[in-house]
Amino acid sequence: MSGSRVQLQPAWVLHRRPWSENSLIVELFSQDYGRIGVMARGGRSGKRWRGLLEPFTPLLASWQGRGELRTLSGAEPGAGRPLLTGAALASGFYLNELLMRLLRRDDPHPELYPVYGEALSGLPDEAVLRRFECALLGALGYGLMLDEDLEGGPVQAGGVYRYHLEHGPERLVDSEVHNDGDGLRIRGETLLALAGRMPLAGETVLREARRLMRAALALYLGERPLQSRVLYRQLAGKPRRAAPGPTTDH
C-alpha cells in the first residue's frame, strides 16, 4: 500500500531522533499508511522543518522512496494540535510509546487514527487512556471480551467475574466471589464501562480497568519497561502508583 511517493498525507508525529549531523529520523502515525519512518534531511539545523517535527504535531506529510525508511519531501501544519503540559504531556508520551511498541511499520490502521487524535484532546483524563488502550488492542486483533462471558451470556453490571486473559470473563457464583484463583477478579460494571456501555468513572471502576488493561497490554509489550512511566512521574509530579501505563504498581 505504501507506494514510492505519497503527497499530503494526514499524520501525527510520534517520535524523532537525530541522524547524522543535520538530519532526523521521524516516526509518523499516518491516516492511511499506519506507522511510517521518514528521514528529514536538514531537520536538526535547517529552517525548513522548524516547529513541524515535534511529537503531537499534526501534519500533512509528503514522502518518497520504498523500504523501511522513506525520505520526507514536504510537510505542512495540520489542524488540531493539542496543548499538552504536565500530566497531559506525560500521558501523551505514553500513548506514543504504545504506538511505537505495538504498531508495525507500514501496517495501516485507519480506524485507530481518529481515536488517537481524540485521545490527545481528552488528556489527562484516565478514562481516555483506558478507552484508547482498548481501541488499540482491538485494532491489533487482540480485543478484549467485555460484554459477554465465557458461557456466552451477557455480562451483568451487578455480577463479579474472573477475567482470563486471551479468553474472557468467567461469571463467579456467590461461593466463589471471595476465593482466590487464576485470572483477575473484576466487576461487571467495570467490563461494561470499558465496552462503552456504562460511564468509565469512579475510583473502583477506574482501578479495576487500569489493572485489567495493564495485564492485557503486558502480554504484547514484553518485559522491556515503558520509558513514559518514568516521565509521567517526573512531569506530573505524581507518586509511582499513579502512573498511567500498564506496568503501574498499586
Domain that holds residue 28: 5-77
> Does the pLDDT value for residue 2 go beyond 60?
no
Q: What is the CATH number of the domain that holds 72?
A: 2.40.50.140
Ranges of H-type helices in 123-174: 126-139
Sheet holding 160-164, edge to edge: 168-171, 160-164, 184-187
Residues 108 and 203 reside in one and the same domain? yes
Confidence of residue 84 (pLDDT cuts 50, 70, 90): very high
Confidence of residue 31 (pLDDT cuts 50, 70, 90): very high
Residues 141 and 198 reside in one and the same domain? yes
* Strand segments (E) across 20-94: 23-30, 34-40, 58-64, 70-77
Confidence of residue 249 (pLDDT cuts 50, 70, 90): very low
Average pLDDT value for residue range 50-67: 95
Residues 58 and 99 reside in one and the same domain? no
Count of CA atoms in the C-beta half-sphere (13 A) of 129: 30
Evaluate whether 157 touches 197 at the Cβ level (below 8 Å): no
Indicate the number of domains in the chain.
2
Average pLDDT value for residue range 166-187: 79
> Does the pLDDT value for residue 36 go beyond 70?
yes
Mean pLDDT of all residues belonging to the chain: 90
Judged by average pLDDT, the poorest of 4-8, 48-52, 59-63, 178-182 is 178-182
Three-state DSSP at 30 gives strand
- Residue 88 has a pLDDT of 94
Residues 126 and 186 reside in one and the same domain? yes
Confidence of residue 4 (pLDDT cuts 50, 70, 90): confident
Residue 174 carries which side chain, given as an amino acid letter?
D
Confidence of residue 179 (pLDDT cuts 50, 70, 90): low
Adjacent-strand bridge partners of 5: 64
Confidence of residue 230 (pLDDT cuts 50, 70, 90): confident
* Total-model pTM: 0.89
Residue-wise pLDDT for 91-150, tens only, equals 999 999 999 999 999 999 999 999 999 999 999 999 999 999 999 999 999 999 999 999
Residues 121 and 212 reside in one and the same domain? yes
Q: Among 77, 108, 137, where does a domain finish? A: 77
Residues 40 and 121 reside in one and the same domain? no
Confidence of residue 211 (pLDDT cuts 50, 70, 90): very high
Residues 54 and 95 reside in one and the same domain? no
Residues 210 and 132 reside in one and the same domain? yes
Residues 138 and 233 reside in one and the same domain? yes
- Residue 1 has a pLDDT of 45
Three-state DSSP at 167 gives coil
> Does the pLDDT value for residue 170 go beyond 80?
yes
Evaluate whether 66 touches 5 at the Cβ level (below 8 Å): no
Ranges of H-type helices in the chain: 86-102, 113-122, 126-139, 188-194, 203-221, 227-236
Does 110 sit behind a cis peptide bond, omega within 30 degrees of 0 on the bond before it? no
Evaluate whether 8 touches 28 at the Cβ level (below 8 Å): no
Residues 30 and 114 reside in one and the same domain? no
- Residue 238 has a pLDDT of 58
Q: How far is CA 238 from CA 47, 129, 204, 213, in A?
A: 37, 16, 19, 20
Residues 106 and 227 reside in one and the same domain? yes
